[in-house]
Every structure is written in structure tokens, then in C-alpha cells.
């Protein structure tokens, strides 16, 4: 029954059916053999699916809204436990720290301790005149707990000044004179409040596996949404750059002569420009408002990224344009446009794909570079660059804010680079050992 | 050769001209002047300011004036920092930036070539794979991630090295982290580049001849392989240097280094027109001169290239 079919198929000298292998099937086979590249392909695919489906994931409640602020859950470390547990654990450790400090002070009775506004370190100031600050009773200080939320005011008060104030007749206020005790009482009261709200407030049930930032926003969803914008800008920018580069290179290569000369001199001059500086200038001068418009961002970057692709495509077209199949097409009356699009470009597609894959990580890096400097994506939108730059500001006390977006971004770039290498080896086997 | 050098130097002029012109008009066309603040300046003061900085003249005249000033290497006053001229700011930062850039480039080249040689000679054995992994990591990690992460672990948590600032404060130790950060991607790229070109040279006929003569392997590598294999590395030095110059803006911001990169970013945010243009001109000069030097060195190293 398939005799007839067999006749149409290619047969080798032993009369066995040969399956024709296209360039793409061959390349796919080679890519699959390259384990690192294949794993990278899967990871890149995962990133793409997650960032494309991010709004759906939010709707389904799998990840939280990346803009939603939960001030109670601010600065929580990455964990699989619900936020409420972490908040309580954080406050309890703070309270025990405070209690220890108060106890220490009671014991020595010589030094007066003070806590920094954020209360992360305890320094002791040597008492200058041997004055004593009497330990306060908790009950008295409780009423001042509300005021005690910001201890900044007392930070700047010299112990001696406080001392003299005590004598100045502010008898009731002595309770709040010691910021340590004030904060301790405030924390204790707050802990009770939170414990009572634990079951009613749904925000304490949230689980933040990447932790939260200073405003209590979920870092996981911020990383995903940041990646969404970074990848989108990378993708659109790469497509734009590739299109411009292909068109430019193809026309220059095919036409040749003076046109080629002029076009390539132009590319040479553009190459000489310190392009990142030009992009910085463009971004600086379009102003804050227009910066929210991603179009400007990727146009600014794409403006200079097409140069390499134009050069590569031109080289390929020049080497192909005198081949027999182009001559055949021309002899049959094909137009220039048709020859370029139907005959020349498909033959350069492999190398175009390879260079585009290589272009994308550099695009993402450039976008994040600008965002890091404060010249790219602006709040409330976030890209990996802005997340990293926010993380840098907070890294001293909450390093996860820096590490989470950094690792996510680096992994993606790493995979893109491996994938690019793998694709080059697969599509262009001759250049196997070239970088 | 000397004719080539002269021609090459002359060809710099149009490039620099294009850069100055482009940045001048880009900046003047942008909305919002340097004196646009949140609080409106009274009309008469604004007029005086405009007059003081010659901004009331027609654009063409301003442009010619600026060109003339640049030719005399007078980059004008800074619009934001009233007490400083752009020349002064650049004079202050330039040596620092050059020091950082030069050290980073040297480190990248030395270690990159070293790793490349080891990887090529041990091809497809574990040193090769290790070098390849390090190289891909180096290329994939952006400067602005590597810098802060190094600061976090080495500077903040382990307290081995200072987190920032320059040699005037911390001595030579302050150099280490910024240099690692700035040179990492170029180190990685040079390692891959030299590995690939060494592998190619190792297969060539003259290496077989050298081995057939009975030369020691170390002599073959040093005298024959490296000479041929270093050409792609030399031609990459131009782009590497330009990348290091651009990257120094971020590294200087992260590590608080008083070079010319940090004022550039600040000027871009502050719209300090003259400072930006001055910085762009200095950066472009560095880049263009670096490329020139690389091209000339390349010509001396590779006698096959003819300049006609």
C-alpha cells in the first residue's frame, strides 16, 4: 500500500528509504545533544511562560500583587512559613534583645544605653557626670508607647540633657526618657495587638518565599514582574534591532558599489560613538514622565544595537549573492526584493538567529544598567535593574532584597548565553571553536 | 606605515566632530533648560542667567561658540556647581578613573590570557570546563550585580576589604573590589577569545614544524603559539577599553570612587548641560585614542596587514 509512496521518497544505494534531514531538524538534533544548551532552553522557556502568564498567576492568587504594600509585613526574610509567624518571631527576638539591654543597664547602673532609630545596634554612652538614669517601670511607660514609635527624637538628646530635664519638673515624662524601655513597651503592646489580629487579618497568612521589601511588597512577584518588563524590553528591542540590521545589511550587501560604501561608513562612524553614553544622554533628557514609556527606552537602546547584525548580514549576503541559485532566480526574472527576501535572507537566517540570541542578554543588561542608574524604568513599574538598585540600598540589613533579583537575573542571562553558544554550534557547525 | 598613522589620526576629526555636534544639539533640543527648577525663577533673573551663559543667542551662534571653546579646551562652567568649571571637575576625576580603568584592563588581559592558555592546552579536560564555566559566569553577571554582591559578602559580612572609596582613604586595598568588578566580563571574554585562537593556531602547519624540529613544548607555546594567537586579543582591546570606560560609571557609583564616571551620571540626572557635554567629549577622546593605539599596535604585530 505504501509502495506508491515509497517511489516518491529518496532512496539510497541499498534501496532503503532515506529521510531527508532539513537544516532545522539537524540543528535541533545537535542542540538536544548539547546538555547545557538544552537545559538552558528549558529554563529560558520557563522564564518566558512565567513572565507571560504573570497577570494570570496574580489573578489566580498564586503570586501576590507586585504593587500591594503590607506595612506590617515589611522586610521579612525569605521563608516558607506564613508572614504572621515571621512577624512574631521578629518582634520576639527584638523584645528579648531589648530586655537584655535593659537588664544589662539595670545591672551596671553606670552607663546609659540608647538605641539607634532603627534599633539595630546598641551603643553605650559613657556617663559623663556619673548621673543615674533610674530604670522605669513598665506600667508607667506603657502610656507613652505610642509616642515611642519613633525614637528618633530621643536619639539626639544628650544623656545630660535628659538628666537635667528630669530635674526640670517633668516628673511624669521621666517614663519616656529612656528610649530602650519605651521601645520595649511599645513592642510588647504591638506584639499583643498583632497576636490578636493574627486570625482575622488575611495578610498574616501570606507566604513570601523570596521575602518582602521595605514596603512589605512581595519580592517574588516583584522579581517576576521585573523580569517581565526586562524580558519584554529585551525581546522587542532585539526584534527591532534585528529587523533594522537585516534590512540595512541586506540592502548594502546586495546593492554593493557606492551605496554599500556609504552605508558601511555610516555603520563605522556609529561604531566609533560611545553609544552607552549617548543612550544615557537620551534617557536623561527625555525626562521623568516620558521615561515611563518603554518605547523610548528600547528605541534608545535599539538605536545602536543593530550595527553588528547589519555587518554580519551584509557579509553573508555578499558571499551568497553570486551563487548559482541566485543567478537562476535572476534569470527567471525575479525582482531584487524577491531575491533578497525569498532567496538570500532564508539562507542567512541561521546566523541571524544566533546573533539575535546573543543580542538579547546584552539588551537586558543595558536596560538594567540604565534602570540601575535611575535612568530607565521608573516606579511603580520595576525591572530587574531597578530591583537590584533598590536591593543595594537595603542590603545592609536585608540582603535578600539584593540577592533575589540578582540571582533571578543572572540565571536568565547565564542561560541565554549558553543557549546562544549552543545555537551557534548547532546552526553554524563550522565555527565550533570560535568565540 | 607612517602614512597610515597620519591618515588614521586625521580620520578621528570627523568622528569627534560628529560626537560634539550630536551631543550639543541633542541637549539643546531637549525640553526643560538647566535653570528649570521646581520653583520658578523670576523673569529678570532668568534673563540675566541666560545672558551670563550666552543662552539668549541664536542656536547657531551658541554652537559655533561652543566649538571654538572646545578647540581651546575650555569646557565652560558647570551649570549646577557654580564654583567649579567643567575642566576642574574633569581634572580632579580623570587620574582616578584612568587608574581604575588601566588596572582593570591589565588584570583582565593577564588573567584572561593565562586562563585561555590553560584551557586550550588542557582541552576537554576539567581545567577547560572549569575555565569555560567561569568565563560564562563572568559574561553573564552584570557589573551592577557583581559589585554590590561583592560589597555585601567581602566588605560587609566578612569585613576583609573596604566596601568603597578610593586609595586616598583605604590604600591599595580599596582597589581590589572595583578592579574585580570592572574587569570580570572582559577577563571572561578574553579567556574565551584566547582559548579559541590558541586552539586554532595549535592546529596550524608552523606549529607542527616547530614540534618536528624537536623544540620543547614550553618553547613552542611561548615563542610560536602565543605570538600568533594574541592577535584577536589585541584587536579586542579597543572594545574592551570602551566597555571598561562605560562600566566605570556604574562601578564608580557603587564603590563611591571620585572619578569622572559618577559626576557624569549625576550630571545626566541634574541636566547639567556643560558638564555632560564635557564628559562625553572626554570619554569619546579616550575611546577614540584607545582604538587608534590598538589599530597601530595591531599593524606592528601583524605584518600580513597592509595599509593601502
Q: A39 and chain B: CB distance < 8 Å anywhere?
A: no
Handedness of CA B165, B169, B175, B176 (dihedral sign): negative
Residue to mutate among A36, A121, A273, with most B CBs inside 10 A, is A273
Is the pLDDT at A144 greater than 50? The verdict is: no
Is the pLDDT at A136 greater than 50? The verdict is: no
Question: B108 near B237, Cβ under 8 Å?
Answer: no
For A231, A358, B21, B144, B283, the CA distances from A362, given in Å and listed in that order, are: 11, 7, 28, 14, 21
Test A269 with B18 for CB contact under 8 angstroms: yes
Q: A276 and chain B: CB distance < 8 Å anywhere?
A: yes
Q: A187 and chain B: CB distance < 8 Å anywhere?
A: no
Q: How far is CA A392 from the centre of its chain?
A: 13
Q: Percentage of residues in chain A with pLDDT exceeding 90? A: 4
Calpha distance A110→A133 (Å, rounded): 8
Exposure string (b/e) for A39-69, b if CB count within 10 Å is 16 or more?
A: ebbebbeebeeebebbeebbeeeebbebeeb
Whose cell is 587608574? That residue is: B99
Residue A212, φ and ψ in degrees, nearest 5: -130, 165
Picking from B23, B27, B149, the nearest residue to A406 by CB comes out as B149
Test A391 with B268 for CB contact under 8 angstroms: no
The mean predicted confidence, pLDDT, of chain A is: 74
In total, the C-beta contacts within 8 angstroms joining chain A to chain B are 127
Q: How far is A59 from chain B (nearest CA, A)?
A: 31
Q: How far is A368 from chain B (nearest CA, A)?
A: 9
Question: A180 near A101, Cβ under 8 Å?
Answer: yes
Nearest Cα residue in chain B from A386: B144
Calpha distance A251→A306 (Å, rounded): 14
Q: A272 and chain B: CB distance < 8 Å anywhere?
A: yes
Q: Which of A25-34, A69-78, A160-169 is predicted least confidently?
A: A160-169
Is the pLDDT at B246 greater than 70? The verdict is: yes
Test B27 with A414 for CB contact under 8 angstroms: no
Residue B122: pLDDT band (50, 70, 90) is confident
> 3-state SS string over A390-426?
HHHHHCCCCCHHHHHHHHHHHHHHHHHHHHHHHHHHH
Residues of A in contact with B250 (CB under 8 A): 369, 372-373
Question: B27 near B273, Cβ under 8 Å?
Answer: yes
Q: A419 and chain B: CB distance < 8 Å anywhere?
A: no
> 3-state SS string over chain B?
CHHHHHHHHHCHHHHHHHHHHHHHHHHHHCCCCCCCCCCCCCHHHHHHHHHHCCCCCCHHHHHHHHHHHHHCCCCCECCCCCCCEHHHHHHHHHHHHHHHHHHHHHHHHHHHHHHHHHHHHCCCCHHHHHHHHHHHHHHHCCHHHHHHHHHHHHHHHCCCCCCCCCHHHHCCHHHHHHHHHHHHHHHHHHHHHHHHHHHHHHCCHHHHHHHHCCCCHHHHHHHHHHHHHHHHHHHHHHHHHHHHHHHHHHHHHHHCCCCCHHHHHHHHHHCCHHHHHHHHHHHHHHHHHHHHHHHHHHHHHCCCCCCC
Residue A173, C-beta contacts closer than 8 angstroms, at least 6 positions apart: A144, A165
Q: How far is B47 from chain A (nearest CA, A)?
A: 22
Q: How far is B246 from chain A (nearest CA, A)?
A: 7
Residue with the larger pLDDT of the pair A286 and A416 = A416
Calpha distance A40→A45 (Å, rounded): 8
Alpha carbon dihedral A213, A219, A221, A224, in 10-degree steps, equals 130
Nearest Cα residue in chain A from B199: A433
Axis crossing angle, helix A23-33 with helix A35-52, rounded to the nearest 10: 100
* Residue pLDDT, tens place only, A369-378: 888 887 777 7
Residue A135: pLDDT band (50, 70, 90) is very low
Is the pLDDT at A294 greater than 50? The verdict is: yes
Residue A87: pLDDT band (50, 70, 90) is confident
Q: A374 and chain B: CB distance < 8 Å anywhere?
A: yes
Residues of B in contact with A40 (CB under 8 A): none
pLDDT on residue B33: 62
Residue B106: pLDDT band (50, 70, 90) is very high
The pLDDT of B33-41, averaged and rounded, is 65
The pLDDT of A206-210, averaged and rounded, is 80
pLDDT on residue A272: 66
Is the pLDDT at B40 greater than 80? The verdict is: no
Calpha distance A341→A250 (Å, rounded): 9
The mean predicted confidence, pLDDT, of chain B is: 83
Residues paired with residue A238 on neighbouring β-strands, in sequence order: none
Nearest Cα residue in chain A from B194: A435
Is the pLDDT at A273 greater than 90? The verdict is: no
Q: A262 and chain B: CB distance < 8 Å anywhere?
A: no
pLDDT on residue B187: 92
Residue B278: pLDDT band (50, 70, 90) is confident
* Residue pLDDT, tens place only, A235-247: 888 888 888 899 9
Q: How far is CA A309 from the centre of its chain?
A: 26
Calpha distance A424→A430 (Å, rounded): 9
Residues of B in contact with A273 (CB under 8 A): 15, 18-19, 22, 284
A 10 A CB-CB count for B181 gives 26
The pLDDT of A133-145, averaged and rounded, is 40
pLDDT on residue A46: 94
Q: Which of A21-35, A288-302, A391-405, B247-261 is predicted least confidently?
A: A288-302
Query: Residue B86, exposed/middle/buried by CB under 10 A (0-12, 13-18, 19+)?
Result: buried
The pLDDT of A284-310, averaged and rounded, is 72
Extract the C-alpha cell encoding A358: 546573543
Residue with the larger pLDDT of the pair A431 and A381 = A381
Q: How far is CA A54 from the centre of its chain?
A: 15
Asked if residue A380 has a cis previous peptide bond (ω within 30° of 0), the answer is yes
Residues of A in contact with B284 (CB under 8 A): 273-274, 277
pLDDT on residue A107: 81
Residues of A in contact with B148 (CB under 8 A): 388, 391-392, 395, 402, 406
Highest mean pLDDT among A169-183, B147-161, B198-212: B198-212
Q: What is the ipTM of this complex?
A: 0.78
pLDDT on residue A145: 39
Residue A165: pLDDT band (50, 70, 90) is very low
pLDDT on residue B36: 63
Q: Which of A278-292, A387-401, B145-159 is predicted least confidently?
A: A278-292
DSSP codes of every residue in A67-111: S---GGGTTPPS-SSBHHHHHHHHHHHHHHHHHHHHHHHHHH-S-
* Residue pLDDT, tens place only, A49-84: 998 888 888 887 777 777 777 777 777 788 777 777
pTM to 2 decimals?
Answer: 0.76
The pLDDT of A89-107, averaged and rounded, is 81
The pLDDT of A197-214, averaged and rounded, is 77
Is the pLDDT at A162 greater than 60? The verdict is: no
* Residue pLDDT, tens place only, A332-372: 988 888 888 888 888 888 888 888 888 888 888 888 888 88
Is the pLDDT at A160 greater than 50? The verdict is: no
Calpha distance A198→A192 (Å, rounded): 10
Test B268 with A283 for CB contact under 8 angstroms: yes
Residue to mutate among B141, B144, B276, with most A CBs inside 10 A, is B144
Is the pLDDT at A47 greater than 90? The verdict is: yes
pLDDT on residue B153: 87
Test B32 with A287 for CB contact under 8 angstroms: yes
Residues paired with residue A123 on neighbouring β-strands, in sequence order: A114
Count helices and strands in chain A by DSSP H and E runs: 19, 2
Test A392 with B143 for CB contact under 8 angstroms: no
Residue to mutate among B80, B148, B163, with most A CBs inside 10 A, is B148
Residue with the larger pLDDT of the pair A198 and B132 = B132
pLDDT on residue B39: 66
- Please name which of B269, B237, B257 lies closest in space to residue B92, comparing C-alpha atoms: B257
Nearest Cα residue in chain B from A392: B148
The pLDDT of A170-184, averaged and rounded, is 62
A 10 A CB-CB count for A100 gives 11
Q: How far is B214 from chain A (nearest CA, A)?
A: 28
Residues of A in contact with B249 (CB under 8 A): 280, 373
Residues of B in contact with A410 (CB under 8 A): 140-142, 145
Test A274 with B242 for CB contact under 8 angstroms: yes
* Residue pLDDT, tens place only, B139-157: 888 888 888 888 888 888 8
Calpha distance B110→A377 (Å, rounded): 37
Residue to mutate among A392, A397, A408, A430, with most B CBs inside 10 A, is A392
Whose cell is 571620585? That residue is: B258
Amino acid at each position: 500500500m505504501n509502495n506508491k509512496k515509497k517511489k516518491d521518497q529518496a532512496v539510497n544505494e541499498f534501496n532503503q528509504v532515506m529521510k531527508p534531514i532539513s537544516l532545522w531538524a539537524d540543528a535541533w538534533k545537535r542542540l538536544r545533544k548539547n546538555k547545557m544548551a538544552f537545559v538552558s532552553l528549558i529554563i529560558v522557556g520557563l522564564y518566558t511562560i512565567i513572565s507571560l502568564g504573570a497577570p494570570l498567576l496574580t489573578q489566580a492568587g498564586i503570586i501576590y500583587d507586585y504593587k500591594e504594600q503590607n506595612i506590617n509585613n515589611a522586610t521579612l526574610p525569605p521563608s516558607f512559613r506564613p508572614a504572621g509567624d515571621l512577624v512574631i518571631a521578629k518582634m520576639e527576638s527584638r523584645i528579648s534583645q531589648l530586655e537584655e539591654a535593659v537588664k544589662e543597664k539595670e545591672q551596671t547602673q553606670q552607663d546609659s544605653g540608647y538605641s539607634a532609630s532603627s534599633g539595630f545596634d546598641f551603643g553605650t554612652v559613657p556617663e559623663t557626670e556619673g548621673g543615674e538614669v533610674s530604670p522605669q517601670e513598665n506600667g508607667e511607660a506603657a502610656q507613652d508607647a505610642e509616642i515611642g514609635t519613633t525614637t528618633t527624637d530621643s536619639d539626639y538628646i544628650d544623656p545630660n540633657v535628659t538628666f537635667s530635664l528630669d530635674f526640670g519638673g517633668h516628673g511624669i515624662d521621666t517614663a519616656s526618657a529612656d528610649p530602650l524601655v519605651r521601645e520595649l513597651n511599645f513592642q510588647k503592646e504591638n506584639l499583643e495587638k498583632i497576636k490578636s489580629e493574627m486570625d482575622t487579618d488575611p495578610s498574616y497568612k501570606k507566604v513570601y518565599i523570596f521575602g518582602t521589601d521595605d514596603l512589605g511588597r512581595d519580592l517574588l512577584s516583584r522579581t517576576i514582574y521585573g523580569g517581565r518588563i526586562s524580558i519584554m524590553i529585551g525581546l522587542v528591542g532585539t526584534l527591532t534591532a534585528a529587523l533594522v540590521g537585516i534590512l540595512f545589511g541586506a540592502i548594502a550587501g546586495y546593492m554593493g558599489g557606492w551605496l554599500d560604501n556609504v552605508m558601511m561608513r555610516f555603520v563605522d562612524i556609529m561604531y566609533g560613538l560611545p553609544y552607552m553614553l549617548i543612550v544615557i544622554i537620551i534617557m536623561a533628557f527625555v525626562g521623568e514622565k516620558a521615561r515611563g514609556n518603554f518605547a523610548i527606552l528600547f528605541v534608545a537602546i535599539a538605536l545602536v544595537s543593530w550595527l553588528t547584525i547589519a555587518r554580519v548580514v551584509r557579509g553573508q549576503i555578499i558571499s551568497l549573492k553570486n551563487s548559482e541559485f541566485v543567478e537562476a532566480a535572476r534569470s527567471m526574472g525575479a525582482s531584487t526584493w524577491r531575491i533578497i527576501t525569498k532567496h538570500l535572507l532564508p539562507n542567512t537566517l541561521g546566523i541571524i538567529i544566533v546573533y539575535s540570541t546573543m543580542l538579547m542578554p546584552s539588551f537586558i543588561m543595558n536596560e538594567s544598567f540604565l534602570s540601575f542608574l535611575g535612568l530607565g524604568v521608573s516606579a511603580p513599574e520595576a525591572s530587574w535593574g531597578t530591583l537590584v538598585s533598590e536591593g543595594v540600598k537595603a542590603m545592609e540589613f536585608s540582603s535578600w532584597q539584593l540577592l533575589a533579583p540578582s540571582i533571578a537575573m543572572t540565571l536568565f542571562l547565564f542561560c541565554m548565553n549558553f543557549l546562544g553558544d549552543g545555537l551557534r554550534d548547532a546552526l553554524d557547525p563550522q565555527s565550533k571553536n570560535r568565540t | 606605515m607612517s602614512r597610515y598613522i597620519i591618515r588614521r589620526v586625521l580620520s578621528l576629526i570627523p568622528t569627534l566632530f560628529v560626537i560634539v555636534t550630536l551631543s550639543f544639539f541633542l541637549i539643546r533640543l531637549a525640553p526643560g533648560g538647566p535653570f528649570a527648577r521646581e520653583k520658578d525663577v523670576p523673569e529678570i533673573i532668568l534673563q540675566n542667567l541666560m545672558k551670563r551663559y550666552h543662552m539668549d543667542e541664536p542656536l547657531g551662534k551658541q554652537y559655533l561658540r561652543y566649538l571654538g571653546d572646545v578647540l581651546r579646551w575650555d569646557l565652560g562652567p558647570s551649570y549646577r556647581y557654580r564654583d567649579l568649571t567643567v575642566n576642574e571637575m574633569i581634572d580632579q576625576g580623570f587620574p582616578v578613573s584612568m587608574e581604575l580603568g588601566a588596572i582593570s584592563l591589565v588584570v583582565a588581559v593577564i588573567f584572561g590570557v593565562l586562563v585561555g592558555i590553560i584551557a586550550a592546552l588542557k582541552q576537554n579536560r576539567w581545567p577547560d570546563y572549569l575555565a569555560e564555566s567561569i568565563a560564562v559566569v563572568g559574561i553573564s553577571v552584570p557589573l551592577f550585580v557583581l559589585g554590590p554582591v561583592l560589597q555585601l559578602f567581602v566588605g560587609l559580612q566578612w569585613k576583609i576589604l573596604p566596601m568603597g572609596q578610593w586609595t586616598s582613604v583605604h590604600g591599595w586595598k580599596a582597589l581590589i573590589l572595583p578592579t574585580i568588578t570592572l574587569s570580570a566580563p572582559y577577563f571572561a571574554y578574553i579567556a574565551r577569545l584566547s582559548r579559541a585562537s590558541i586552539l586554532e593556531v595549535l592546529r596550524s602547519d608552523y606549529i607542527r614544524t616547530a614540534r618536528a624540529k624537536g623544540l620543547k613544548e614550553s618553547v613552542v607555546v611561548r615563542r610560536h603559539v602565543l605570538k600568533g594567537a594574541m592577535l584577536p586579543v589585541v584587536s579586542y582591546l579597543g572594545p574592551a577599553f570602551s566597555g571598561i570606560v562605560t562600566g566605570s560609571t556604574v562601578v564608580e557609583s557603587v564603590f563611591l570612587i571620585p572619578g569622572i564616571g559618577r559626576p557624569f551620571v549625576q550630571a545626566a540626572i541634574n541636566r547639567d548641560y556643560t558638564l555632560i557635554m564635557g564628559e562625553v567629549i572626554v570619554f569619546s577622546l579616550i575611546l577614540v585614542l584607545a582604538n587608534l593605539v590598538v589599530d597601530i599596535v595591531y599593524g606592528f604585530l601583524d605584518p600580513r596587514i597592509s595599509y593601502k
